[in-house]
């Protein structure tokens, strides 16, 4: 197609003098902006995201009701629902969900706060970095489950040992991202801050921390996911309530329906808290990135 451009304000036209819509950015019928399309609409994306779970649910229903899979291996969706209703009626489900959520939130908050503090120290001070980095790196290398027996010996099987384990899980993603982010703050911006009289805490607050916000938020999100992981580790091994306990207990008693219920609960809880932190991330990034 040959295209003639006649002056800056005239529309771009083809050989017959008709306006070429794609080349006239201000004409009403202009082509879509890059990135626009059905996938840029929220409801469309939401529907697509729910499509796969719906397919899985239907498949689940079909394979159980046709007897393709034995009920002791995979109970039907209806019987998992019944198991849930049963636990709710006994007042256990709400309690399990509440205690697990509480452990995750508290452990996450403690671990993330410590991760922020220690990470800032190590990221900003070369002395603190030299002193702490090797040791913390070694501690980080210890697989999470290895802590469980030790923590139980030290703290008993109460809440303390579980919160500590979850805090350890939340600490490291925050710690590592904060250290890396602070070390990679644009040196030009830091220099400009110093040239305009900022030092110490003021420089940290005005330049370094804001510059690190995007990666720190990503670290927090990772830490929350890790908190759920460590929660299950803690509850599987030593607990008398919680979603992880439900999982272990059903496994020992052959209650596949409850085990599947526990898995679904973990997926739901993890996704919900992640969505919440995602909302916080969005508003933070709007402000700081």
Partner 1 sequence: MTRTPSSTAITSTATDPAPAAVGDARPVALRGVARTFATPSGPRPVLAGLDLEIAAGEVVAVIGPSGCGKSTLLRQVAGLDAPDAGEVLLGGTPVAPYDARTAVAFQEPRLLPWRTLAHNVALGLPRGTPRTQAREQVARLLDLVGLSGSAGLRPRQVSGGMAQRASLARALARRPGVLLLDEPFGALDALTRLRMQDLLLEVHASRPTTVLLVTHDVEEALYLADRVVLLAALDPAAPGAASVRSVITVPGDRPRDRADARLSELRAELLDGLGVPTHHHVHDPDLHHSI
Binding site for partner 1 (CB under 8 A): 188-189, 191-198, 206-207, 210-211, 213, 287-289
Specify the residue, 157 or 203, whose C-beta has the smaller distance to partner 1.
203
Q: Which H or E run includes 141?
A: helix 126-141
Q: Are 177 and 216 in contact (CB under 8 A)?
A: yes
Specify the residue, 129 or 210, whose C-beta has the smaller distance to partner 1.
210
Least Å from the CB of residue 193 to partner 1: 8
Rounded to whole angstroms, the Cα distance separating 152 from 238 reads: 8
CA distances from 190 to 125, 129, 234 (A): 15, 19, 42
Specify the residue, 189 or 241, whose C-beta has the smaller distance to partner 1.
189
Least Å from the CB of residue 111 to partner 1: 26
Rounded to whole angstroms, the Cα distance separating 100 from 244 reads: 8
Q: Are 119 and 182 in contact (CB under 8 A)?
A: yes
Specify the residue, 8 or 66, whose C-beta has the smaller distance to partner 1.
8
Rounded to whole angstroms, the Cα distance separating 161 from 223 reads: 18
Specify the residue, 168 or 211, whose C-beta has the smaller distance to partner 1.
211
Least Å from the CB of residue 33 to partner 1: 17
Specify the residue, 211 or 262, whose C-beta has the smaller distance to partner 1.
211
How are the residues of the chain apportioned to helix, strand and coil, as percentages rounded to the nearest 5? 75, 0, 20
Least Å from the CB of residue 277 to partner 1: 20
Q: Are 230 and 169 in contact (CB under 8 A)?
A: yes
**Cβ neighbours of 83 (radius 10 Å):** 21
Least Å from the CB of residue 285 to partner 1: 10
Least Å from the CB of residue 281 to partner 1: 15
Rounded to whole angstroms, the Cα distance separating 32 from 22 reads: 8
Least Å from the CB of residue 208 to partner 1: 11
Rounded to whole angstroms, the Cα distance separating 98 from 246 reads: 13
**Cβ neighbours of 164 (radius 10 Å):** 19
Least Å from the CB of residue 124 to partner 1: 17
Pick from 174, 173, 168: nearest CA to 155: 168
Specify the residue, 126 or 199, whose C-beta has the smaller distance to partner 1.
199
Specify the residue, 84 or 213, whose C-beta has the smaller distance to partner 1.
213
Rounded to whole angstroms, the Cα distance separating 92 from 220 reads: 30
Which residue's entry shows tokens 């220690």? 118
């Amino acid at each position: 197609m040959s295209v003639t451009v006649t002056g800056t304000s005239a529309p771009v036209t083809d050989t017959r003098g008709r306006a070429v819509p794609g080349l006239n950015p201000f004409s009403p019928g202009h082509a879509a902006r890059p990135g626009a399309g059905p996938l840029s609409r929220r409801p469309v994306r939401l529907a697509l995201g729910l499509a796969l779970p719906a397919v899985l649910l239907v498949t689940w229903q079909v394979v159980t009701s046709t007897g393709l899979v034995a009920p002791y291996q995979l109970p039907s969706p209806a019987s998992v629902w019944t198991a849930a209703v049963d636990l709710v009626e006994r007042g256990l489900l709400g309690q399990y969900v509440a205690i697990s959520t509480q452990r995750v939130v508290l452990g996450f908050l403690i671990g993330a706060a410590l991760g922020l503090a220690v990470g800032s120290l190590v990221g900003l001070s070369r002395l603190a970095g030299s002193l702490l980095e090797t040791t913390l790196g070694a501690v980080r290398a210890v697989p999470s489950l290895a802590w469980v027996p030790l923590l139980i010996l030290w703290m008993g099987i109460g809440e303390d040992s579980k919160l500590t384990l979850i805090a350890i899980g939340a600490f490291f993603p925050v710690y590592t991202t904060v250290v890396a982010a602070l070390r990679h703050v644009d040196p030009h911006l830091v220099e400009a801050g110093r040239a305009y009289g900022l030092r110490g805490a003021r420089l940290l607050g005005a330049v370094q921390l804001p510059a690190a916000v995007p990666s720190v938020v990503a670290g927090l999100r990772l830490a929350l996911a890790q908190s759920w992981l460590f929660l299950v580790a803690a509850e599987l091994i030593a607990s008398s309530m919680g979603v992880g306990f439900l999982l272990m207990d059903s496994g020992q008693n052959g209650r596949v329906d409850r085990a599947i219920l526990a898995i679904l609960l973990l997926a739901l809880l993890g996704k919900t808290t992640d969505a919440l932190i995602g909302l916080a991330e969005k508003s933070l990034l709007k402000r700081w990135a």
